[in-house]
Amino acid sequence: MCQYLPKLLWIYLPKNKLLEYDHNINGDYMEYKSIWQNNNERTTLNKLKDNLTVDVLIIGGGLTGMQTLYQLRNSNLKIALVEARKIGYDTSLNTTGKISYLQGTVYQELTKRYSLSVAHHYLESQLEAQNTLVDIIRKNKIACDLEKTPSYLVATNTKELKKVKKEKEILQKLGINVSEENITYNEDSAYALKVTDTYVFHPLKYLNALTNLCFKKQKNIYELTKIIKIVKKEQYYQCYTAKNYILAKKVILACHYPFFIFPYLFPFKTSVEKSYISASPFPNQHYSAITANKAPISIRFQKDNMLYLTKSSPICNNLNESKNYQELKKKVEELGLSPTNLWKNTDIITVDKLPYIGYITKNNPNLLIGTGYNTWGMTNSTLASLILKDLVLGNSNRFTNLCNPLRISMKDTFSLTKNLGYSLSGFLKSKISKNKDFYQNVIIKNINGKSIGIYQENGKTYQVYNKCPHLGCSLIFNAKEKTWDCPCHASRFTKEGKCIKGPSCYDISYKE
């Protein structure tokens, strides 16, 4: 057993231990966007201009949707995929890009809630998904910076130490080769478990290559094509855009958060969590790590950048986004880093830490979903593509029951109530004080009986309806990204009022 782990826990060292590196970066330069966003080398895709009839419609062009299309590309089915924005430019763009079955303390949580066999089954699903994703990359020679790296689960206090040791014990019972590291720095000490067979990659490069591959087989891939309503009509679903419709026998919702409430009752079965991420120049390292607490610190490296994730919390908390970004910037600067990019991501959290993949309603094999990945979207989106492919083709899949969206238990009562509480909290917080004390250049006023958000920038005025079309929460202005954000379920709108993230399907532009 190693007596120390080089450079792993430098994030916990006193500041004077960190100033070894000259970053030569102007600290005033900052982009509030993902580090992946500059890569977009792929086939140019069109917007849907005509009505269409297909066997399968996939709604959502992120990792779930595009990988599902990839899995179905050689079938005899006529398939279409639509994306409301650009392929990959939603949740998939904002991830840290870890491909890992080591997922915090999930295996002890599943063992406690269900059994060791359920934890084992979930581990098998993650290993299969990880191997599938890596195989796709290698088979198709996709240049997406894939790198095999060790991963660490880190304890920095006594409470976390018990959790990490318990996770190590369970992983060993499940047949995983786990080692441990004891780290001691002066009076500070920490402990970590280590696995060596995990990966990191560039998610947008991967998605771009996958889009190119799929387009050769399935031409019906459309960007800037938002589905705003689905109506069941005999053996078809009629899926409407603003100007056209698509008739589909089967519909797969791969859009992160479904845009309807019934029959799925999604706001009760999940919560929405947000996290904040920075990218800073740092000499390239070859590992990733995450702490064992409820609001973890997560790090990985992308060539000569270090990605640092922190401040995970329910979306209804900490509504002042300028302050959240300032705190993130301050935190990483205290570590001796000079961040060039800051951004945030949202994740769907399920009540039992298992994803929701499969049929939305009982005895209906034609409406399916893949979501609820509990911050581990790289493996679970791949798992979703495998399950959804088999369900569409009528094949069996050994993980279907594990991920069944219809599962529910009496154990869920507290979590279901808590999720409802998060939604109500976001709703009430958004209503109690519409003119936030942290707003600059923004006012909320009543015009003709409607609540209107007014933002001024460079002498220009932008007006929007200050109510989310999804469930009516008042919107919060994000001064750093110049967006109106919903604190209940994470819909987002540009300063002009264009919807750029669901579950809302509608814009909020206002003209007098």
- Residue 234's region, left for phi above 0, alpha for psi from -120 to 50, else beta, is left
pLDDT band at residue 183 under the 50/70/90 scheme: low
Q: What is the pLDDT of residues 45-56, one digit of tens each?
A: 899 999 999 999
Residue 408 pLDDT exceeds 60: yes
Residue 398 pLDDT exceeds 70: yes
- Residues of the chain above pLDDT 70, percent: 85
Q: What is the pLDDT of residues 95-107, one digit of tens each?
A: 999 999 999 999 9
User: Residue 424: which of 257, 311, 256, 271 has the closest Cα?
Assistant: 271
Q: What is the pLDDT of residues 440-456, one digit of tens each?
A: 788 888 888 788 888 88
Domains, the chain, ranges and CATH? 10-37+103-109+145-201+268-350 (3.30.9.10), 40-94+204-262+353-414 (3.50.50.60), 433-501 (2.102.10.10)
Q: What is the pLDDT of residues 208-265, one digit of tens each?
A: 999 999 988 888 999 999 998 889 888 899 999 989 999 999 999 998 877 665 556 6
Task: Please give the structure tokens belonging to residue 168.
Answer: 């190590």
- Residue 239's region, left for phi above 0, alpha for psi from -120 to 50, else beta, is beta
Residue 186 pLDDT exceeds 80: no
pTM of the model: 0.88
CA angle 74, 79, 83 (to 5 degrees): 120
- Residue 389's region, left for phi above 0, alpha for psi from -120 to 50, else beta, is alpha
User: Residue 56: which of 199, 165, 164, 218 has the closest Cα?
Assistant: 218
Q: What is the pLDDT of residues 23-69, one digit of tens each?
A: 333 444 678 889 998 766 677 789 999 999 999 999 999 999 999 99
